[in-house]
Amino acid sequence: MKPKLKPTAVANVVKAVANGEADFAVHVMPGILAEGGVDVVGPVPAEIQSYIDLTAGLSAAAPEPDAGKGFITFLTSAGAVPVIRAKGW
């Protein structure tokens, strides 16, 4: 397979599949869903899967700290789960 590998800039991975330059690509799900034009066949197997941990923080100098805290609270709530899943996170 190595002779067929083609290094591609991250920003162009999904486009390369969509326009036929590549047969398949491995990329983060949100990037695939945001770009579109391809069929998602599924996640990589759990044995080789890796995950990205996201962290939220709020600057001590935030002009609207209550709004920021509310947004973080929403992101960690059950109400956000359907949207987060739909976006591939």
Whether residue 3 lies inside any domain: the answer is no
If asked whether residues 13 and 39 sit together in one domain, one would say yes
Between CA 28 and CA 14 the distance in angstroms is 10
This prediction has a pTM of 0.60
User: What's residue 54's pLDDT?
Assistant: 85
- Is there a domain that residue 57 lies in? yes
Mean pLDDT score, 54-75: 94
pLDDT at 64 over 90: yes
- Is residue 74 assigned to a domain? yes
Q: Give per-residue pLDDT as tens, 48-61.
A: 888 888 899 999 99
Give the domain extent around 30. Answer: 8-44
Same domain for 29 and 59, yes or no, is no
Give residue 40's identity as a one-letter amino acid code: V
Same domain, 18 and 40: yes
Span of 15-19, 30-34, 54-58, 70-74 with lowest mean pLDDT: 30-34
- Tally of domains within the chain: 2
For residue 87, is it within any domain?
yes
Average pLDDT of 21-27?
85
Q: What is the pLDDT of residue 13?
A: 87
Is 79 inside any structural domain? yes
pLDDT at 56: 92
Quote the tokens at residue 56.
């939220």
CA distances from 62 to 23, 50, 56, 57, 58 (A): 46, 33, 13, 10, 7
